[in-house]
Structure 1
């Protein structure tokens, strides 16, 4: 694998979305984030992944952390759109962005490794080293970011470093490489306990990457118009 160093002389610098991009309704933001690329600079490398699955959360519904009330740990959820909210899930780190309105946010559920002139083969190699499987072997590239904690591990994102922070465009940003997904799948969120608004269809998936998200909404047995909708 060729080692391609990142420096201003050999590659363009990424351009992050402004904070105003995130100041919109959580469901609208969840859809708008599909196809965008998260970039985290580690040393001379920009580790990058394309967002393929998101979940919207509102303060008023029971599935959200914000519905449990304000705490210092959850303060990012109550800040302006574009703040980073990170927490631990099943022993790993999870990444969320605050949306418009106190307590509303979007969870970045899964992504797909992204390689371009900014994030070359060396960046992908580092992501593979960051996130080996249980036996210490490299994961298949397609599965490297196929879940919220796998994504953070591959990108090297940690709760203590980024929780309740704004984006720092020299270290962490979301970029729009265009074009947007051709089709979006809307379905129910994952891991919501019974009785906590588990029926709400607040999960959005880039249809072209459905087989690589946390759980494929187009798997056998799922029925369009009942289990999911195509947008």
Structure 2
């Protein structure tokens, strides 16, 4: 598998970014350091979370009916650590996401509402080297988001029942794609990324172990990208229309 070398649009040309992910905490694992850099640069970032993460967590005594509200609250708190204030929760069932026309329509509606110049989502391609990032909900959400990115959101004849006007995003970023073509140095925002991740308290059996693993993992990404020692980085695949 190959992807073309693509230079992202300069951040100075981007006013709004929309992030579309399957579960609360997905963006914090994959791209929150980069999101924090964008918001620090004055870019408005909004999140679209497809499910409420009802199937997650390690608390056997918790009433599972509480999980949607818990996870929405955790994601809202996490977003604030990286400068994100507006979140769109679609309320799909955790573990049952498929790239249906309904989901494509719902993501298209959010794109047309936010009108971003950049869309960040997960990868529709499975990574056999890191299978945990290829949860079926991730793959399905990403496939629906890519279909919304092109052609649905920009096609005025797609989903004519929507009131929102068509919008061409123009630039797609994907996290956890098997082949990355762009790296972002997040050393200056790594603490914000960790604070966002730690906000998902219902999901962490071993917070100290998570901190260690995250630091090692993203230091490894920085090393692979050729950044200096003691740096952290996030990897993406960028496609421009």
Q: TM-score with structure 2 length normalisation?
A: 0.23
